[in-house]
Amino acid sequence: MKRATRVGLITSGGDCQGLNAAIRGVGKALFHRVDNIEIYGMFDGYRGLIESDYKFMEPKDFSGILTEGGTILGTSRQRYVPGKDIVDDEGNSVIPQMLNTYNRLNLDCLVIMGGNGTQKSAKLISDAGMNVITLPKTIDNDIWGTDTTFGFQSAVDIATNVIDYLHSTASSHGRIFVVELMGRDAGWLTLQAGIGSGADVILIPEIPYDLNKVADMLIARRKAGRGFSIVACAEGAVSVDDVKLDEEESRRKRENSKHSTVSYEIAARLEQLTGQDTRVTVPGHYQRGGPPCAYDRVLATQFGVAAADLIINKQYGRMVAIQGGQITSIPLADAASKTKFLPVDHPMIQVARDIGISMGD
């Protein structure tokens, strides 16, 4: 009898919508297309691979999970030394333990689902001699080489919904609301949610903001009879002054700040500059919770099926992607080497400007 093809599944890093749909896509496609297949689900991300904590997955494990948020396998974050190693809390490399589990189970491939950091750590695992295929998931949409990631559209829908609900209370009280959305390095989520919800100001990491200009715009709105305003602010938004600070100066400023996040600092300053009552809303992890939207269910399923194709064809060391509406794959080395920031000349930024949204500059 032909030896079984053995595949390990890992969901690594932060959770997001669509992980279970992707797990389902991989599993169903492999069971449907490969005569002798064994699938092992690693618990809690890389921890399961490090500690040999896994489950043998049967076809029934892939049923009924399409609409579930989170991940049935659990997830965790592992310490990553950029370009060098994956380590435990004492700084010791855990790649040898990963390789030991991989070899002991006689795996043919690992399918690793994760964000930007996961693509980088998966490249190290690949370099250590394990066959790897990755799927791009993150609500930040900042993975290079793919037009979008699963989890992103669900987060956009949630963030848009949050701001939608704030319009009525902001209008009733004549307030400015600063809504802090996820996006430490890239502004894709804040831009799309800001446009989709009718925000008046959108602040993203790629375009340093000048609060004096923002305040002038908000004052002009109020004088024109628009009694409230919505500011959609990415958690990584930075001012024209702060962008000039070096890493040490930025660290000292954060440590000495009386504000817990950038949105509270912005709100306090806007209230001073405009004289208008200002409030902050931080939806936080709410943005990556709950069931995936239909778009992410379909995209994650497509990605899962594409991963099965790569396994069947023994095309390892690649990340599944979507480009121009077509499912494809790119070398993992490329995906791991760059971050997909939002270009300041992106057409959607111009769309925002053309309808009168301030980008803070």
Per-residue burial over 87-99, b if 16 or more Cβ lie within 10 Å, else e, is eeeeeeebbebbe
Q: Reduced to 3 states, what is the DSSP secondary structure of residue 36?
A: coil
3: DSSP letter: P
242 is known as an active-site residue: no
Catalytic residue (one of 44, 108, 140, 142): 140
206 close to 214: Cβ distance less than 8 angstroms? no
Angle at 298 between CA 295 and CA 304, to 5 degrees: 135
Report the C-alpha gap between 213 and 361 in whole angstroms. Answer: 7
The percent helix, strand, coil of the chain (3-state, each to 5) is: 45, 20, 35
Beta strands 229-234 and 201-203 are: parallel
Estimate to the nearest angstrom the gap between the alpha carbon of 346 and the chain centroid: 19
Residues marked as catalytic: 140
